Amino acid sequence: MSEDSPKFLMRSFGRVKSRKIKPQQASLFDTLLPSIEANPARVATLLASGRPVWLEIGFGGGEHLAAQAANHPNVDIIGCEPFLNGVGSALRHIDDGHLGNVSILAEDARPLLDSLPDASLERIFILFADPWPKARHNKRRFIQPETVATFARVLKPGGSVRFATDWADYADWALQRFLANADFDWTAQSQADWNTPPADHVTTRYETKGLGDCRPVFFDFYRK
Give the pLDDT of residue 152.
98
CB 218 within 8 A of CB 194: yes
Residue 209 predicted with pLDDT over 50: yes
- pTM to 2 decimals? 0.89
| Catalytic one of 130, 183, 200, 213 | 130
Q: Name 32's Cβ contacts closer than 8 Å, sequence gap at least 6.
A: 91, 94, 95
What's the chain's Rg over C-alpha atoms?
17
Give the pLDDT of residue 212.
85
What pLDDT, in 10s, does the model give residues 27-74? 999 999 999 999 999 999 999 999 999 999 999 999 999 999 999 999
d(CA 2, CA 156): 35
Q: How many CB atoms neighbour CB 192 within 10 A?
A: 8
CB 87 within 8 A of CB 105: no
Give the pLDDT of residue 18.
52
What pLDDT, in 10s, does the model give residues 178-207? 999 999 999 999 999 999 999 999 998 888
Question: Could you tell me the domains of the chain?
Answer: 23-223 (3.40.50.150)
Q: Is 130 among the residues known to form the active site? A: yes
d(CA 160, CA 207): 21
